Copies of this chain bind each other. A is one copy, B any other.
Amino acid sequence: MELIDGNQIAAALIAELKAEVAQISGRKPCIALVRVGEDPASVSYVKKKEKTAAEIGITSRVILPPVTITPAELFALLDQLNSDPTVDGILVQSPLPKGFDEVAVFRRVLATKDVDGFNTLNLGKIAQEDPSGFVSCTPAGIMELLARSGVDLKGKHVVVVGRSLIVGKPVALLALQKKAGANGTVTICHSQTRDLPGIVRQADVLIAAIGRAEMITADMVKPGVVVIDVGINRLPDPSKKSGFRLVGDVHFPTVSLLASKITPVPGGVGPMTVAMLMKNTVKAFRLQAAH
């Protein structure tokens, strides 16, 4: 069994981006990070993004509207960032406070600055296999992990468990593309699937994005399977100071004995998402510079 080390792969990607950005003379790529409210997880995510940007040499502009901002005011703020030529990428940290229509907010971000890949147009471009679009960071990170671990999906049976808009559907469309590394046969399962074990057991490559702790057990997988575990779940653990430990959607202790390659949780897909956000920001800068 080989561990797919997300920390190591993300670090390599960040080093590459740093070298690339160092070559840019004049204005550096810039990402606007918009966070509304003080959700503790959001505070920590935005800090991590700010820190990684600084490490690469990407300018970040952190914007913290008060939690009392109205949807119309947030739209006005986004319009201003959309038309600002010194801003290349815009990220609106999810979740937004109640009362906001997130899809409408994501749609308001200009498609060419949508480094989070949540704009409807960028979703459509994944289906069209149009490389000018932005792929959202988790599915893009999964494809990068596979590519950098030498996993070619061609002709393989890729089973995606979970049909969410931010992971399951886009990663299924990416695995299906005609480009090198992809060309997988793709099955998408979810809560309504009958005989989930029977289908998961067919997977050459399993992408678990369900959000249920350790749901995929050893009896459900084929020996030699490659496992990408997208889940991040808390399990009570009195032996930890925090009182919990993080586990994925896959029961790592037993499934890892059968897998040929597997991501750990934490330290698998997680670290890739921030790295891919930075990669998208540099891409947005290039696109803007080309115009």
Chain A residues within CB distance 8 Å of chain B: 103, 119-130, 154-157, 163, 165, 169-170, 172-173, 176, 178, 183-190, 192-194, 199
Contacts and interface: CB of A to CB of B under 8 A. Distances in A.
Contacts of A172: 188
B183 A192 contact: yes
| For the complex of A and B, 7 pairs with smallest distance between CB atoms | A124-B124, A120-B124, A123-B124, A187-B187, A185-B193, A183-B192, A155-B194
B176 A185 contact: no
Contacts of A192: 154-155, 183-185
Contacts of A129: 165
Contacts of A130: 103, 120
Contact of A186 (B125, B183, B188, B194): B188
Contacts of A163: 176, 178
16 contacts: A120-B124, A120-B125, A120-B128, A121-B121, A122-B124, A123-B124, A123-B127, A126-B127, A127-B173, A157-B194, A169-B173, A183-B190, A185-B187, A185-B193, A185-B194, A187-B187
B173 A199 contact: no
Contacts of A124: 119-125, 127
A191 B90 CA distance: 38
A126 B183 CA distance: 22
Given A120-B125, A124-B122, A163-B176, A185 B183 contact: no
Given A124-B125, A154-B192, A157-B199, 11 more contacts: A120-B124, A123-B123, A124-B127, A127-B165, A128-B165, A155-B192, A155-B194, A156-B194, A157-B194, A169-B173, A185-B189
A234 to B, nearest CB: 26
A201 to B, nearest CB: 12
Contacts of A188: 172, 176, 185-187
A184 B127 CA distance: 19
Contacts of A155: 192-194
Given A120-B124, A155-B192, A192-B155, A185 B165 contact: no
